[in-house]
Chains A and B, each alone.
Chain A
Amino acid sequence: MKKILILLTLVNSVYAQTMPMSPVSIDCRYATHMTIDLERIIKDPSNSNSSWDRLFASVAGSQTDHQRLSSAKVILWTIRTQCVGY
C-alpha cells in the first residue's frame, strides 16, 4: 500500500487543518484500484486501512469516520476530475 502514498502528491496544505481541500494530483494508471478502495471506504468509513488512514491524515489532519469519509470523497472525485472514464 505504500505505492498509494506516492501516487498522491499533496501540493499545498493551506486548508489541511480545516477541511480536506488540498490540491491532490492523481496518477491515473492506478485510478481503478484506488477507486475500488475508496468506494469501499465511502460505503463503510470504519473499514479503512493504515495506508489510506495515513494519507487521509496528511490531507485532512484527522481521522474520525466523518472526516475519513470526506477525505475519501475528495480523492475519489479528484480521480473522476483528472482521469477520463472514472
Chain B
Amino acid sequence: MDNKNTVCGLLISLLSLSVNAECYTRSATVSKLTSSIERTADMDRAILPWSDGGFKCRISFRALIDNKWHSAVGEEIGDARASLDQTCAKAMNAGRVSILESVSGTKVTGNQEMICTDQPMPESRTRVAVGDMVWESSVLPHPIQKNQFNYRGSICRWFSESRPESGTVDLSQGIICRVPDQKVWRVVDKF
C-alpha cells in the first residue's frame, strides 16, 4: 500500500469531459468513508519555469482508491536553489493528499475544478482485447495477483475485468506488459 490514511466517508464522484476537448471538469461530492491510496500509476512530471529563477513541479498521476482509479494532480513551487527531486516529491505528496481529501473527505462537500491539459487522459475501459495498448490505470488490478513480475524482459501485471452480461457478470482476467521506454502497456493475454 502506498499510503495508509484513514478517513471516514462515502464517495460519489463524477469525472466528466467538458465541451473543450483539452479541458475537463472534475467534480466530487464526498461524505464519510474509510479509504487509502492502494497504488499509484501513470505518473507524469512537468517542470515549468517560475519567477526569480524558480520552477514549478507539476505531477499528474492516477490513484487507486477503493478499487477505482482516480486522476490526481499535485503542484509545488521551488526556488532557484531547491532540489528538483525534493520539490517534485512534495508535489506528489500534495497530489496524494488532495485526491484523498476529494475522494474520502470527512464531511460532505462539493467541489468542482477545471483542469486543462494537452496530455492524453487515462480512462477506465470496460473491455480490452489482446493487443490493445492501455494505460496501467485503464484496467482494474487483479484481486489476488497484485504484484508485478518480469516476463521476457518486460514488466507485467495481472488485471481483472467484469462486465454485466444479460443478468450475469462476465468476469475475466489477463496480463498487461509495459512497452519498453513508454508509459503505455500492451494487453498480452486475456482469459
Q: How far is the CA of A73 from the CA of B190 in the complex (A)?
A: 9
**Residue numbers in A under 8 Å from B172 (CB-CB):** 19
Considering residues A15, A22, A84, which has the most beta carbons from chain B within 10 angstroms of its beta carbon? A15
Q: How far is the CA of A30 from the CA of B144 in the complex (A)?
A: 22
**Residue numbers in B under 8 Å from A18 (CB-CB):** 169, 171
Contact pick for A19, options B147, B150, B151, B173, CB 8 Å:
B173
Closest approach, in angstroms, between the C-beta of A23 and any C-beta of chain B? 5
Question: Does the CB pair A77–B171 fall under 8 Å?
Answer: no
Interface size class of B (residues with CB under 8 A): 10 to 19
CB proximity to A under 8 Å, residues B99-149: 142-145, 147, 149
CB proximity to A under 8 Å, residues B148-163: 149-151, 156, 158, 160
Question: Does the CB pair B151–A80 fall under 8 Å?
Answer: yes
- B10 interface residue, CB < 8 Å from A? no
**Residue numbers in A under 8 Å from B189 (CB-CB):** 73, 77
> What are 29 A-B contacts with C-beta separation under 8 Å?
A15-B171, A18-B169, A18-B171, A19-B171, A19-B172, A19-B173, A21-B142, A21-B144, A21-B160, A21-B171, A21-B173, A22-B144, A23-B144, A69-B191, A70-B191, A73-B189, A73-B191, A74-B191, A77-B158, A77-B189, A78-B145, A80-B149, A80-B151, A80-B156, A81-B145, A81-B147, A81-B149, A82-B149, A84-B150
